[in-house]
Structure 1
Amino acid sequence: MKNVRFYVIRFSNIASFVFFLYVSFFSGEEKDFSYSDAEMPLFMPSPYAFAIWFIIFGLFAVWLARQFSRENRDEELYEKIGFLFPAGIFFTALTSLTGGIYACIYLIIALVISTQIYRVIIREERKSSFFRWPFSIYLGWLSVAVILNIFQVVKGYGISSFLGMGELVWTIIMLVSGGGLSILFIRKNKDLLFPCVFVWAYIAIAIANSDRITVWIPALIISLGLLILIVQHKSGDTKD
Structure 2
Amino acid sequence: MRLLGLKLFNLASYMYLLVASFFLAGNFTNRSTDDVLVMPAPFAFSIWFLIYLLLLIFVFTSFFANEEMNEVVRKIGLWFPLSMILSGTSVVVGTTPSILFLALSLLTLCVVYTVLQSFPGLPEKYRASFSIYLAWTSIATIVDAFVVLKANKVEELFSIGELGWSVILLTIGGLIAIAFHFYHNDYFFPLVFVWGYGAIFAYQENSLIRFITGAFVIILLFIVLFSFLRKRN
Give TM-score, length-normalised by structure 1: 0.91
Cα distance change, pair 191–144 in 1 and its aligned pair in 2 (3 A): same
Give 1:30 deviation, angstroms: 9.0
- Amino acid in structure 2 at the alignment position of 1:92: S
Alignment partner, residue 228 of structure 2: 234
Equivalent runs, 1:40-59 vs 2, <5 Å? 40-59=35-54
Give 1:71 deviation, angstroms: 3.6
**Does residue 128 of structure 1 match 2:120?**
no
CA distance in 2, matches of 1:35, 1:52: 18
Give 1:106 deviation, angstroms: 0.4
Any gaps of 5 or more consecutive residues in structure 1?
A: none
**Does residue 207 of structure 1 match 2:213?**
no
Count, aligned residues = 232
Alignment partner, residue 13 of structure 2: 16
**Does residue 219 of structure 1 match 2:216?**
no
**Contact conserved, 1:141 with 1:198, CA < 8 A, in 2?**
yes
Any gaps of 5 or more consecutive residues in structure 2?
A: none
Task: Write the deviation string for residues 100-150 of structure 1: whole angstroms up to 9, x where unpaired.
Answer: 221100011111111000000011014332000110000001110111111
- Amino acid in structure 1 at the alignment position of 2:20: V
2:22 pairs with one of 14, 20, 25: 25
**Does residue 185 of structure 1 match 2:180?**
yes
Q: Larger C-alpha radius of gyration, 1 or 2?
A: 1
- Amino acid in structure 1 at the alignment position of 2:197: Y
Alignment partner, residue 118 of structure 1: 113
Task: Write the deviation string for residues 68-111 of structure 1: whole angstroms up to 9, x where unpaired.
Answer: 22545321111111111111100100011112221100011111
Cα distance change, pair 34–92 in 1 and its aligned pair in 2 (3 A): closer
Cα distance change, pair 119–15 in 1 and its aligned pair in 2 (3 A): same
Cα RMSD (Å) of the superposition?
Answer: 1.8
Deviates more, 1:19-28 or 1:51-60: 19-28
Task: Write the deviation string for residues 166-215 of structure 1: whole angstroms up to 9, x where unpaired.
Answer: 11121111111111000110110000101111110111101111x32222
- Amino acid in structure 2 at the alignment position of 1:11: L
Alignment partner, residue 7 of structure 1: 4
CA distance in 2, matches of 1:15, 1:118: 21
**Does residue 79 of structure 1 match 2:84?**
no
Identity across matched positions, percent: 28
